[in-house]
A = this chain, B = another copy of it.
C-alpha cells in the first residue's frame, strides 16, 4: 500500500469519527459561590442555613434562595448565586470576564483546588465576609458514573479533548474526567466558554 492509499483510508476514518454522535450534555456554569457554615452565618445571620430553591444536575447540590454581591476595589457584581450545601472552604467560581471586571487575578483550577486563588469581599444585606484565597476560574470537566466511564473508555482524572457541537463548534483540551457513582453525566464549562461556542440547551459534546 502506498502513502496516497493510506491517506485516503485515514481521511475516511477521520471523517467517520467526526460524524459519530456527540452524546455528552454540556452545561454552562454561571458565576457562583460555595460557602462555609461560618460564612453563611456571617452573611445571613447567626443560626441561618442555606435554603434550597432548586436541585442542580449533580445529586445533592442545590441552588439556594440566598444571593450575595462580590466587591473589590475595582468593581462589583451583584445578585451572585450561592450553591448548597455548605462546604469546608469558601470557593468563588467566576469567568475570566468576571475576573477582569473585578480586577481579580485568579487561576484556572479544578473545583476544590484553591492554590493561587484570588481575593474578594462577599457582601449581603446583613454582613461582609472577607473571602481571601477563594476565587478560581473553574477548569472544565465532565462528571460521569463508572458505567459512563466504561462506555467512553476513560477513567477518573483523565484529560481528554471534547468537541462541543454547536453553530460555532469549539474543541476544548485538557478536559478532566471526574468519575463517581453519584454523578450525573454532564460536561461543565464556564460562560466565556459557553459564549465562545454559542452553547444552547441541547448542545452535546464528544470526547476525542
User: Which of B10, B174, B193 has a CB less than 8 Å from the CB of A196?
Assistant: B193
CB distance from A131 to the nearest CB of B (A): 22
CB distance from A44 to the nearest CB of B (A): 28
Q: How far is the CA of A195 from the CA of B170 in the complex (A)?
A: 13
Majority DSSP secondary structure for residues of A touching B = mixed
**Contact partners of A136 in chain B: CB under 8 A:** none
Q: How large is the interface on A (under 10, 10 to 19, 20 to 34, 35 or more residues)?
A: 20 to 34
CB distance from A153 to the nearest CB of B (A): 15
CB distance from A150 to the nearest CB of B (A): 22
**Contact partners of A193 in chain B: CB under 8 A:** 196
What mask results when residues 177 to 199 of chain A are scored 1 for a CB within 8 Å of chain B, else 0? 00000000000000111011110
Q: Does A79 count as interface, using CB distance less than 8 angstroms?
A: no
Return the chain B residue nearest A167 by Cβ: B108
Copies of this chain, how many? 2
Known interface pairs A6-B6, A9-B6, A169-B174. Does A195 touch B192 (Cβ–Cβ under 8 Å)? yes
A 158-176 contacts with B by CB, 8 A: 163, 167-174
Is B170 in contact with A174, judged by CB distance below 8 angstroms? Answer: no
**Contact partners of A167 in chain B: CB under 8 A:** 108
Is A97 in contact with B195, judged by CB distance below 8 angstroms? Answer: yes
What mask results when residues 1 to 26 of chain A are scored 1 for a CB within 8 Å of chain B, else 0? 10000100110000000000000000
Other 16 A-B pairs with CB < 8 A, given A1-B6, A169-B173, A170-B196: A6-B6, A6-B10, A95-B195, A96-B195, A97-B192, A97-B195, A108-B168, A163-B171, A168-B174, A170-B171, A171-B171, A192-B192, A192-B195, A195-B196, A196-B196, A196-B197
For this complex, 26 residue pairs linking A to B, each with C-beta atoms less than 8 Å apart, are: A1-B1, A6-B6, A6-B10, A10-B10, A95-B195, A96-B195, A96-B196, A97-B97, A97-B191, A97-B192, A97-B195, A100-B195, A108-B167, A108-B198, A163-B171, A169-B173, A169-B174, A170-B170, A170-B171, A170-B172, A170-B173, A170-B196, A171-B173, A192-B195, A192-B196, A196-B196
